[in-house]
């Protein structure tokens, strides 16, 4: 890792795009198509019954045959897509963890281990992809059943012409409506979202409110276990009294219940037995929303919402003045850090923290063949139809591009609200503890105003364009039938030749439009692939794999910073260190204390050589850090990040990351490491053991 953070930022940005639920994105993308196809289905059958109800009734049962391939394809595709998505989720999870925990990965020299794990996760996708391709091929091939239905309805329609006085044009129009209507509706689906009300409802107005709070908290004989682990007791006859006005620290190993005390106090959960009192009143009797408004909370893993720094601070008190916001920031040692940004408290908080090419070739060759066949069968009609194809292509192309545009604009318009909603879900404890549900809903409503107006405008535009394009396509059909009937009447063409040519050119315009509408996707795909390879090809100035450098078997641990200057490349104007010089003796424990942004974490990053100083040097055991072979050096350094996270896998595998790339870590070493971190008792108390 070097000082250029853009690689990590770009990859993290891609990972963040997953915040919008997939089902929501698919719903927004497919809704316009569903509405268009459903309308076409209903209109087709209504017109069929009006024109020739007997033939429509005869043809209606065959719609089932049109639906079967679509349903079979849909079921198979959904199943394979779900499995592919699961495989991608596993591989994506590994990649996302590697990106978000890149410092830990580098610190423990686990790059190769994660690459191997990622490669194994991708192996199953190859077989699933081949299976999905086979399913698609069979389903598309089965669409030939449409022609069988047309043949039967043509036979029955001819009998109606001969014996019941029906007109041939009406028969043909009904056949087109019945078969096209069935094709439109096949395979469409919409899903629902189910809402539930929690047992501890902060919106429930029932309960007491105290006029004045002293702040005395008492836990009396509390028994508690989490619903997800009912067999693992957290508290059994737990008693605690915190006098008013006193500062109390709860100290203990991982899993001892420190965070659980706060969760119970804010009524994220209720105890199984015993009670919790606030100024002598059981909190079960207090109004939940009021109770949470009386307490301040800084979570173990603090989070920021996608809005300004000021708005984030206001979650603690919605009606606070700007002076109170600044005072709160000063109290948390954050004011100086925030003031360094250009926009200060108005700063966005998040700123802190080959297949389609083949199809194009097939389309070009297919169109050329179609035109040639048409000219051979009946050149006069073929020329007229070819002349009308540009209009048909434009109409279909307009439909495709419009629907894509609507979907993209909708997704873009909803992006801000989607991020806010996703963060609200992931930070539900923070929102609930500050009773900020109404505030979040107001923010959502506010950011939805623009998208709602845009959706109305897009709906009118879509209706106008779709109706116009469909009308023009129908007009070209009318032209073809009129001119074809003239040629048949003059004896220059047989009726059989007309229907052959019409069937050929019926789908040609649509195929061309489909291929044409993919050109923008191809361009974007090329840009996306280019950006990915640009990241992959980028070389770091700090290379842990470099064979050069000093390798030592033993590190004493003496650390020296000599006149170090440092600033992050993303904020070159914000100087973190200037002429910093410190000495840390080997065998000594040293604590570095200071407010946010003072450089505590930066010191660790420089020792791990995630970055190099702009001036001066960092030494370990009297040797310049740059002279060491980086990977062996990092094997001698242990790191617990400011916000420790777990990799997907067993607890054993997570502890083994401390052994770097080595797999030769014994069971006793793992247990000793867990005991040293005060985690052994907690780990052995849960079902999944080492």
Least confident span in 95-104, 202-211, 381-390, 659-668: 659-668
Beginning with the edge strand found earlier in the chain, give each strand of the sheet holding 623-624 in spatial order. Answer: 577-584, 559-566, 615-620, 623-624
Q: Tokens at residue 177, please? A: 């409506």
Q: How far apart are CA 564 and CA 609, in angstroms?
A: 13
Beginning with the edge strand found earlier in the chain, give each strand of the sheet holding 273-278 in spatial order. Answer: 235-242, 217-224, 273-278, 281-282
Q: 């008492």: which residue's tokens?
A: 218
Q: How far apart are CA 324 and CA 328, in angstroms?
A: 6
Q: How far apart are CA 329 and CA 345, in angstroms?
A: 10
pLDDT bracket for residue 208 (50, 70, 90): confident
Q: 């450089």: which residue's tokens?
A: 599
**pLDDT averaged over every residue in the chain:** 75
State residue 194's pLDDT score: 40
State residue 624's pLDDT score: 92
In the chain, the largest separation of any two C-alpha atoms, in whole Å, equals 108
Angle (CA) 366 369 370, round 5°:
85
State residue 193's pLDDT score: 39
Q: Tokens at residue 341, please? A: 């940004």
pLDDT digits (tens, 9 = 90+) for 26-63: 555 555 666 666 777 777 778 888 888 888 888 877 77
Q: How far apart are CA 40 and CA 28, in angstroms?
A: 20
CB 687, CB 231: distance < 8 Å: yes
SS3 230: coil
CB hemisphere CA count around 641 (13 angstroms): 15
Angle (CA) 150 153 158, round 5°:
120
pLDDT of residue 510 exceeding 70, the answer is no
CB-based contacts of 380, cutoff 8 Å, min separation 6 = 487, 492, 493
State residue 603's pLDDT score: 92
Residue 554 burial (C-beta neighbours within 10 Å; 0-12, 13-18, 19+): exposed
Q: How far apart are CA 508 and CA 365, in angstroms?
A: 11
Q: How far apart are CA 404 and CA 226, in angstroms?
A: 46
State residue 558's pLDDT score: 92
pLDDT bracket for residue 351 (50, 70, 90): very low
Q: How far apart are CA 9 and CA 15, in angstroms?
A: 10
The average pLDDT across 269-286 equals 90
State residue 8's pLDDT score: 38
Q: Tokens at residue 143, please? A: 């669409």
pLDDT greater at residue 452 or residue 686: 452
SS3 597: coil
CB 307, CB 347: distance < 8 Å: no
Q: Tokens at residue 246, please? A: 């006193």
pLDDT digits (tens, 9 = 90+) for 377-409: 788 888 888 888 788 878 777 777 777 677 666
Q: How far apart are CA 250 and CA 234, in angstroms?
A: 15
State residue 220's pLDDT score: 92
The average pLDDT across 154-163 equals 86
The average pLDDT across 418-427 equals 73
Q: How far apart are CA 199 and CA 296, in angstroms?
A: 23
Q: How far apart are CA 278 and CA 296, in angstroms?
A: 15
CB hemisphere CA count around 209 (13 angstroms): 11
State residue 305's pLDDT score: 63
pLDDT of residue 354 exceeding 50, the answer is no
State residue 142's pLDDT score: 67
Backbone dihedral angles phi then psi of residue 506, each to the nearest 5 degrees: -60, -40
Q: Is the dihedral of CA 332, 335, 340, 344 positive or negative?
A: positive
State residue 616's pLDDT score: 94
SS3 248: coil
pLDDT of residue 314 exceeding 80, the answer is no
Q: How far apart are CA 625 and CA 544, in angstroms?
A: 12
What domains are defined for the chain? 1-190 (1.20.1560.10), 208-286 (3.40.50.300), 354-541 (1.20.1560.10), 559-634 (3.40.50.300), 651-684 (no CATH)
State residue 455's pLDDT score: 76
User: How far is the CA of 442 from the CAs of 196, 350, 484, in angstroms?
Assistant: 20, 20, 62
Q: How far apart are CA 27 and CA 34, in angstroms?
A: 10
pLDDT digits (tens, 9 = 90+) for 551-566: 888 888 899 999 999 9
Around Cβ 482, how many Cβ atoms within 10 Å? Answer: 10
DSSP at 11: H
Percent of the chain whose predicted confidence (pLDDT) is above 70: 73
Beta-bridge mates of residue 276? 219
Q: How far apart are CA 18 and CA 22, in angstroms?
A: 8
Beta-bridge mates of residue 308? 348
pLDDT of residue 185 exceeding 50, the answer is no
Q: Tokens at residue 323, please? A: 């002076």
CB 260, CB 229: distance < 8 Å: no
The average pLDDT across 192-197 equals 45
Residue 155 burial (C-beta neighbours within 10 Å; 0-12, 13-18, 19+): exposed
pLDDT of residue 488 exceeding 90, the answer is no
Element (H, E) at 385: helix 379-413
Q: Tokens at residue 122, please? A: 């991708």
Gyration radius of the chain over CA positions: 34
Provide the total of helices (H) and of strands (E) in the chain, helices listed first: 26, 8
Q: How far apart are CA 435 and CA 288, in angstroms?
A: 9
Secondary structure of 522-563 in the HEC alphabet?
Answer: HHHHHHHHHHHHHHHHCCCCCCCCCCCCECCCCCCCCEEEEE
pLDDT greater at residue 580 or residue 427: 580
The average pLDDT across 103-130 equals 78
Q: Is the dihedral of CA 316, 320, 321, 327 positive or negative?
A: negative
Q: How far apart are CA 465 and CA 371, in angstroms?
A: 28
Percent of the chain whose predicted confidence (pLDDT) is above 90: 7
CA end-to-end span of the chain: 32
Q: How far apart are CA 147 and CA 179, in angstroms?
A: 9
DSSP letters along 431-446, please?
HHHTT-HHHHHHHHHH
DSSP at 236: E
pLDDT bracket for residue 246 (50, 70, 90): confident
pLDDT bracket for residue 646 (50, 70, 90): confident
pLDDT bracket for residue 189 (50, 70, 90): very low
User: How far is the CA of 524 from the CAs of 362, 528, 531, in angstroms?
Assistant: 21, 6, 10
pLDDT bracket for residue 198 (50, 70, 90): low
State residue 58's pLDDT score: 83
Q: How far apart are CA 513 and CA 404, in angstroms?
A: 13
State residue 302's pLDDT score: 56
Q: Tokens at residue 149, please? A: 């239905």
pLDDT of residue 71 exceeding 70, the answer is no
Least confident span in 386-395, 582-591, 651-660: 651-660
State residue 391's pLDDT score: 83
User: How far is the CA of 138 from the CAs of 72, 133, 144, 180, 681, in angstroms?
Assistant: 10, 9, 11, 20, 57
């Amino acid at each position: 890792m070097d000082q250029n953070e853009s690689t990590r930022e770009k990859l993290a940005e891609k990972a963040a795009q997953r915040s919008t639920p997939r089902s929501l994105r698919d719903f927004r993308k497919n809704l316009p198509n569903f509405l268009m196809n459903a309308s076409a289905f209903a209109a087709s059958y209504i017109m069929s019954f009006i024109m020739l109800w007997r033939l429509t009734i005869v043809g209606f049962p065959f719609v089932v045959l049109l639906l079967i391939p679509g349903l079979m394809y849909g079921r198979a595709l959904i199943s394979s897509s779900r499995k592919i998505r699961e495989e991608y989720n596993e591989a994506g999870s590994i990649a996302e963890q590697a990106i978000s925990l890149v410092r830990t990965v580098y610190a423990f020299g686990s790059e190769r281990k994660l690459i191997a794990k990622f490669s194994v996760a991708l192996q199953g996708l190859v077989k699933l992809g081949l299976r999905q391709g086979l399913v698609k091929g069979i389903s598309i091939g089965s669409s030939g059943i449409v022609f069988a239905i047309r043949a039967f309805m043509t036979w029955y329609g001819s009998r109606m012409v001969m014996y019941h006085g029906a007109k041939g044009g009406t028969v043909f129009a009904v056949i087109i409506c019945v078969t096209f209507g069935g094709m439109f509706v096949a395979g469409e689906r919409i899903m629902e979202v189910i809402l539930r009300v929690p047992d501890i409802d902060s919106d429930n107005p029932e309960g007491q409110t105290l006029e004045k709070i002293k702040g005395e908290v008492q836990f009396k004989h509390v028994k508690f276990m989490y619903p997800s682990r009912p067999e693992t007791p957290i508290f059994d006859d737990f008693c605690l009294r915190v006098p008013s006005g006193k500062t109390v620290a709860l100290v203990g190993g991982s899993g001892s219940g420190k965070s659980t005390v706060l969760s119970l106090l804010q009524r994220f959960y209720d105890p199984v037995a015993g009670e919790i009192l606030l100024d002598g009143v059981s909190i079960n009797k207090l109004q939940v929303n009021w109770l949470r408004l009386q307490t301040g909370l800084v979570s173990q893993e603090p989070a920021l919402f996608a809005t300004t720094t000021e708005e984030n601070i206001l979650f603690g008190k919605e009606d606070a003045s700007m002076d109170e916001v600044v005072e709160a920031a000063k109290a948390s040692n954050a004011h100086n850090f925030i003031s360094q940004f250009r926009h200060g408290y108005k700063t966005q908080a998040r700123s802190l923290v080959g297949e389609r090419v083949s199809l194009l070739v097939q389309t070009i060759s297919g169109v050329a063949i179609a035109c040639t066949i048409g000219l051979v069968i009946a050149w006069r009609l073929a020329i007229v139809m070819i002349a009308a194809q540009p209009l048909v292509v434009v109409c279909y192309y307009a439909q495709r591009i419009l629907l894509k545009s609507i979907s993209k604009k909708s997704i873009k318009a909803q992006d801000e609200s989607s991020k806010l909603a996703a963060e609200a879900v992931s930070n539900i404890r923070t929102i609930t503890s500050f009773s900020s549900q109404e505030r979040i809903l107001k923010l959502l409503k506010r950011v939805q105003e623009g998208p709602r107006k845009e959706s109305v405008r897009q709906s009118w535009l879509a209706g106008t364009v779709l109706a116009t394009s469909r009308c023009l396509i129908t007009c070209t059909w009318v032209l073809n039938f009129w001119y074809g009937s003239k040629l048949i009447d003059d004896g220059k063409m047989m009726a059989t030749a007309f229907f052959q040519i019409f069937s050929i050119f019926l789908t040609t315009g649509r195929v061309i439009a489909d291929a044409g509408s993919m050109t923008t996707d191809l361009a974007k795909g090329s840009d996306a692939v280019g950006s990915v390879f640009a990241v992959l090809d980028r070389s770091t100035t700090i290379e842990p794999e470099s064979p050069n450098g000093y390798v030592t078997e033993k590190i004493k641990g003496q650390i020296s910073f000599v006149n170090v200057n440092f600033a992050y490349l993303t904020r070159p104007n914000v100087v973190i260190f200037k002429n910093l010089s410190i000495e840390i003796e080997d065998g000594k424990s040293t604590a570095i204390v200071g407010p946010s942004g003072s450089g505590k974490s930066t010191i660790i990053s420089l020792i791990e050589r995630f970055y190099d100083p702009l001036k001066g040097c960092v030494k370990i055991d009297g040797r310049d850090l740059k002279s060491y072979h980086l990977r062996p050096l990092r094997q001698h350094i242990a790191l617990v990040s400011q916000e420790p996270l777990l990799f997907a896998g067993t607890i054993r595998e997570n502890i083994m990351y401390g052994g770097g790339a080595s797999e030769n870590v014994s069971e006793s070493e793992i247990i000793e490491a867990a005991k040293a971190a005060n985690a052994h008792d907690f780990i052995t108390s849960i079902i999944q053991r080492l």
